[in-house]
Amino acid sequence: MEEAERIADEIKIERERYRGVAVRGSVLYFVIADLANINFMYQYSLSFFLTLFVLRLDKSKKAENMDERLKILIDDITLSVYNSICRGLFEQDKLLFSFLNTSSIFRRDGFINVDEWNFFLRGSANPKKTTNTVDYIDDSTWYGLLGLEEVHDNFKNLTKSFTDPAEKMTWKTIMREENPEKVPLPVMFSEKLTAF
């Protein structure tokens, strides 16, 4: 009886170690299931997904170290599912699928919090009624900046930064640049903001 309990405990511990792989699988499946909302032709069954998932568990590179093995599994499953699904998508929907995958993974892993996601989807629910004093942005952008300040502490003083003479040129450059992600943010924000 003690031997059975010991084995059951070992199985439980091992099962918990694979939870991250299962979580990634569920995130990917629900993104795929939501593709039908984009186009009714994108309907993938759970059995198709499970077949692909189990195949990757079997075919992915093996490793002696358990942490390394789990990372390999997560990376392999993510890439394989992405490639398999992209083969069946219209070219115009591939970028959206990439974004949905990435944002769902980031939200699940806590890199994007609920307030940031809601602001991204809906904008500010309660824009403050202060006057736009920045000559290089319109009122809707100004109210968006005010809303960002409400969403997260990392955006505190964002509107002040846009009006600050020392940082004004940086923001103007970012807004005019063809690749704005390559322009360094003002120091106060480059240390606080995530890639999202």
Give the pLDDT confidence of 83-120 residue by residue, as tens digits.
999 999 999 999 999 999 999 999 999 988 888 898 88
Q: How confident is the model at residue 196 (pLDDT cuts 50, 70, 90)?
A: low
Model pTM score: 0.77
The residue type found at 92 is: Q
Q: Which two tokens stand for residue 83?
A: 């490639």
- Cα distance between residue 42 and residue 86, in whole Å: 11
User: Can you tell me the distance from the alpha carbon of 12 to that of 6, in angstroms, rounded to the nearest whole number?
Assistant: 10
pLDDT for residue 139: 85
Which pLDDT value is given to residue 46? 93
Quote the pLDDT of residue 79: 97
Is the pLDDT at 138 greater than 80, yes or no? Answer: yes
Cβ neighbours of 81 (radius 10 Å)? 22
Q: Which residue has the tokens 């000559």?
A: 135
* 2-111: CATH architecture: Orthogonal Bundle (1.10)
Q: How far is CA 60 from CA 24, 52, 82, 83, 98, in A?
A: 15, 12, 15, 15, 22
The pLDDT value recorded for residue 188 is 83
- The CA distance from 34 to 19, in Å, is 23
Q: What is residue 62's predicted lDDT score, i.e. its pLDDT?
A: 92
Query: Quick check: 39 and 97 in contact, CB under 8 A?
Result: no
Q: Please say whether the beta carbons of 38 and 32 come within 8 A.
A: no
Distance CA 125, CA 131 (A): 18
- Per domain, the residue ranges of the chain are 2-111, 121-190
134 vs 36: which has the higher pLDDT: 36
Note the pLDDT tens digit of each residue in 14-65.
889 899 999 999 999 999 999 999 999 999 999 999 999 999 999 999 999 9
